[in-house]
Structure 1
Amino acid sequence: MPRLFTGLEIPSDLASDLGMLRGGISGARWIDTDRYHLTLRFIGDIDYATARDVCGTLEQIRRPAFTVTLEGLDSFGGGKPRAIIAKAKPAAPLVELQAEQERLMRRIGIPPEPRKFTPHITLARLRDASSAAVAAYLTTRGFFSRRFEATRFVLFSARSATGGGPYLVEADFPLG
């Protein structure tokens, strides 16, 4: 059974820049730069027949290429931080691409995604990191802003393990 999700790949120069932000938090498990991505739609563990349906359905998407803007560093988890992220601006083309994928996945019987779409790139997963340490990290790293062009989205597969990597591109779908 493959574990699938759709996403945007991160250009290698941007991944290198994001990788330079690593370090400085006890309890952080930093993500390898070659595993950085922006998840659009988690699909989950499905059988191979459904995987073929997913791929065929994603081929129907026709959207223009667009610019993704990273607008700073943040964390998920509030008082119990669980991840350090680079936030992406929820611009219309990005949100609309994600929403179309959500509609199409529901149409073929994939359960709805329960979480609100918050576009981001996960930089580190946190275990027992204090909120004060995370706040200090975010303050010292300053504001991180970069852009990249999304010219395709991909269907990734992952192992069913913590962190899921390595991620493999199973199919790609051009934008534009």
Structure 2
Amino acid sequence: MSSRRLFVALRPPEHVAEALLDTMEGLPGARWQDADNLHVTLRFVGEVDRHMASDLTAALESVLFVPFPLHITGVGHFEGKGRARSIWARVAPSAELDLLQMRVEMACRRAGLAPETRRFTPHITLARLNSGSAPIGDWLHANGALSLGPWQVDGFSLFESDLTPNGALYSEITKFQ
């Protein structure tokens, strides 16, 4: 039985994605994201079989969604083992986004997935970093005042992630509105 690597996310509109792409320079060694890969992850699911994927889709169809505004305010990074692993655009705090994320999490649990243990940190990953990447301080300083939006979120989607030697390729499976 084949499996699929899935996650639930929001895609920014094209004008926001274009503005984010404009920040993607000046950091040698960074693996910048493509416009098609920019998203706010609501829930990483991981590898599931086709039955679980079907159950998850059905559970997500029951999530109450009400459109709401979002905007970007600044940048940040995640660290691991004492060094930066990724840089991202910060999604401003939003009660509506937190509620949607909680509803998606509950749908995932109803479908039979284990609870997510990581804290929800709304962001859009801009680049992945490795030991050969340049220090990020100058880039963070140069882009710290980044402010985009607001834009109206009109739905959320279930995506499949295909891992390739050149990075992950994301495909939207279903959009929920």
Query: What TM-score do you get using the length of structure 1 for normalisation?
Result: 0.91
Query: Residue 90 of structure 1: which of 61, 70, 93 is its match?
Result: 93
| 8 Å Cα contact 2:65/2:155 also seen in 1 | no
| 3-state SS of 1:159 partner | strand
Out of 49, 59, 62, which is 2:61 matched to?
59
Q: Secondary structure at the match of 1:82?
A: strand
Q: 2:137 aligns with which of 135, 141, 145?
A: 135
Equivalent in the alignment of 2:39: 37
Decide whether the 8 Å contact of 1:7 with 1:153 is kept in 2.
Answer: yes
Which of 73, 80, 94 aligns to 2:75? It is 73
- Select between 107-116 and 94-103 the one with higher mean Cα deviation: 107-116
SS of alignment partner, residue 58 of structure 1: helix
8 A contact 2:59–2:110 mirrored in 1: no
Instruction: Report runs of 4+ in structure 1 exceeding 4 Å deviation.
Output: 161-164
Q: Which residue of 1 aligns with 2:168?
A: 165
Q: Give a deviation string over 1:22-80, Cα, whole Å, max 9, x none.
A: 12122210011121111101111100011110000001011210011211111111741
Q: For the aligned residues, what is the CA RMSD?
A: 1.6
Q: Quote the offset at 1:163 in angstroms.
A: 7.8
The Cα shift of 1:108 comes to 2.3
Matched residue of 2:136: which SS? helix
Deviation at 1:114, TM superposition (A): 2.1
Query: Would the alpha carbon gap of residues 164 and 107 (structure 1) be closer, same or farther in structure 2, given more than 3 Å must change?
Result: farther
Evaluate the alpha carbon distance shift between residue 125 and residue 137 of structure 1 in structure 2; reply closer, same or farther with a 3 A threshold. Answer: same
Task: State TM-score, norm by structure 2.
Answer: 0.91
Identity of aligned residues (%): 37
Q: Which runs of 5+ in 2 are unaligned?
A: none
- State the partner residue of 1:27: 29
Q: Which has the larger strand fraction?
A: 2
How many pairs were matched up?
172
Change (3 A) 1:102 1:12: same
* Cα distance change of structure 1 residues 163 and 121 upon mapping to structure 2, 3 Å threshold: farther
* Distance (Å, rounded) in 1 between the aligned partners of 2:166 and 2:109: 25
Decide whether aligned partners of structure 1 residues 88 and 162 sit closer, same or farther in structure 2, where only a CA change above 3 A counts.
Answer: farther
